[in-house]
Structure 1
Amino acid sequence: MPSNAPRPSDPSRLVSLLWEPSDRPGRTGLTKQAVVENAIAIADAEGLGALTMRRVADRLGVGAMTLYTHVPGKPELVELMLDAVAVEAYADGALPGEQDGWRAGLRHIAERNWRHHLRHPWTVEMVPGRPVLGPGVSAKYELELAPLDGIGLSDLEMDQVLCGVLALVESTARQQVGLGRVRAAGGDLDWWATVSPALARSMGESRFPLAGRVGAAAGEAAGAGDPHAVMRLSLDLLLDGVAGRLR
């Protein structure tokens, strides 16, 4: 393994960290919860790239080695962070299974996850892989399956539909986060309007007629370039597909 490769987490230690109910303070008074909360604050403000064990230790006013008595390293810390923020999505008690039908339940899930990703932009920076199976993520999964239970889908189909909704939201939220960063850096969000006349001249109408026609319509439409609008339309199409499967 190259020396600069990220260290893989220890699965058995990670399961213990995620599910261990106690959070006794160490000799310095530091707790695992404090480590996770401060790591989330850094990632929320600056992204995962800025998160290091030393940054968390400095924020807590302790030595970096003190953190390792609570969390083995950054891979485990990130998974603890993901599990901790998962419980926020429905903390107000508005649950997916209590919405008016499965369509409303899935739309509720989509909107809550959209807001969740924008509140914690670092959650869309994660490389896709195995799920984090901590109590927070497991509880969220349980709540999000509820609208699909008993409507006529198999257990596998329930999981796949939910995964499709969450993947759609994550991909469009990632685009929204990117636009927000461009805006924060003073970048040009009217790029398409600026470049389209020159691009049209270069492409020519005859070379790419279909791409030119559809691209022009997309660029001129109300809400053009709005990832949230893309998410909502794509979700409606996905839900129509589920309804067709049920029929």
Structure 2
Amino acid sequence: MPPQHSKSGDPARSLALLWRTQEPASRRRGKPGLSVDRIVLAATEITDTEGLAALSMRRVAEALGVGTMSLYTYVPGKGELIDLMVDAAYAHLDFGDRSGDWRERLRRIAHANRDLYIRHPWMLQTVTTRLLGPNLIAKYDHELSAVDGLGLSDIEMDSTVSLVNGYVESTARKVLGSEQVARESGMDDEQWWRTYDPLLAALIDDSQYPVASRVGSAVGTAHQAVYDPDHEFSFGLERVLDGVQVLVDARSAERSADSAEPDAPDRTSTRPRDRGCGPLPS
């Protein structure tokens, strides 16, 4: 299904809902039982189990045992509900402490985001570029703090965080896709490998594909599967961090070069142009 995002035409109303700055009309009228948080929790449980395609205001209302229209006094529609679900999910990110160097901090951030996607696969089908909820802002602030003080510009800090999160998102998609194939086929990667490796060995001429045969055999022996998602994630993450290291080292070298330059002599008090005498003669 296509990516899901808020379809609200009123940004102020969406922000008020995310930040809980406006009390729902039903609560003002004294109607107990429902709340935004309860609706979000029910919607998240449905979506975790059945997928984003199963989510609807009617389905949530059924799970809560209320009429569908009663939800709309709390949440304007499905788009806003999804935004609330995403922001609520961010509240449960476990980044651990802030100890260690910047590489270790970014590692923890990457693993925490990956775990979040595994717990809530539907989040990979959402668009969050315009989501400005409190938990997303807190997440962003924490992630930026991992690279603060390294000499990067503010733009470079933002891009570094986006690079790591983009890598995490792409690898999580691959893992979840593999899990879906396993569920639909009734065979996980290890079982598939044990079944098809002998068949492939009988079909493939190693001399015709020498490099692929050698490397594929080594991978199969090491992982007992076509690939090991944990190994691939860790290997790729370290290469991403190596790239960030190049940038950090470059900025450090620039600072060292700047500090090593001798101070230029101060002639501001003797130059005629500074006394309003016009340009210096050639």
Aligning the two structures, in what range does the TM-score lie when normalised by the shorter sequence?
0.7 to 0.9
Q: Which residue number in structure 1 is paired with residue 90 of structure 2?
A: 86
Q: Which residue number in structure 2 is paired with residue 31 of structure 1?
A: 35
Q: Which residue number in structure 2 is paired with residue 198 of structure 1?
A: 199
Matched residues, number: 238
**Structure 2 residue 230 is the aligned partner of structure 1 residue 231:** no
Q: Tell me which amino acid in the other structure corresponds to 1:50.
A: A
Give the superposition deviation at 1:240: 1.3
CA distance in 2, matches of 1:184, 1:161: 35
**TM-score, length-scaled by structure 1:** 0.84
**TM-score, length-scaled by structure 2:** 0.74
Work out the percentage of aligned pairs sharing the same amino acid: 42
Q: Which residue number in structure 2 is paired with residue 66 of structure 1?
A: 70
CA contact (8 A) 1:38 1:60 kept: yes
After TM superposition, list the pairs within 5 Å mapping 1:75-114 onto structure 2: 75-90=79-94, 94-95=96-97, 98-114=98-114
Where does the alignment leave 5 or more consecutive residues of structure 2 unmatched?
A: 250-282
Instruction: State the structure with more CA Rg.
Output: 2
Q: Which residue number in structure 2 is paired with residue 21 of structure 1?
A: 21
Q: Which residue number in structure 2 is paired with residue 177 of structure 1?
A: 176
**Structure 2 residue 223 is the aligned partner of structure 1 residue 222:** yes
Q: Deviations 1:4-29 (Å, cap 9, x if unpaired)?
A: x9983335132232123344472542
CA 7–135 in structure 1, closer or farther in 2 if over 3 Å, else same: closer
Where does the alignment leave 5 or more consecutive residues of structure 1 unmatched?
A: none
Q: Tell me which amino acid in the other structure corresponds to 1:198.
A: L
CA 183–244 in structure 1, closer or farther in 2 if over 3 Å, else same: same
CA 223–148 in structure 1, closer or farther in 2 if over 3 Å, else same: farther
CA 11–214 in structure 1, closer or farther in 2 if over 3 Å, else same: farther
CA distance in 2, matches of 1:6, 1:136: 17
CA distance in 1, matches of 2:224, 2:137: 35
Q: Tell me which amino acid in the other structure corresponds to 2:118.
A: L
CA contact (8 A) 1:36 1:77 kept: yes
| Cα RMSD (Å) | 2.6
1:56 aligns with one of 51, 54, 60: 60
**Structure 2 residue 129 is the aligned partner of structure 1 residue 130:** yes
Q: Tell me which amino acid in the other structure corresponds to 1:192.
A: W
**Structure 2 residue 123 is the aligned partner of structure 1 residue 119:** no
Q: Deviations 1:98-124 (Å, cap 9, x if unpaired)?
A: 221101100110121122222222222
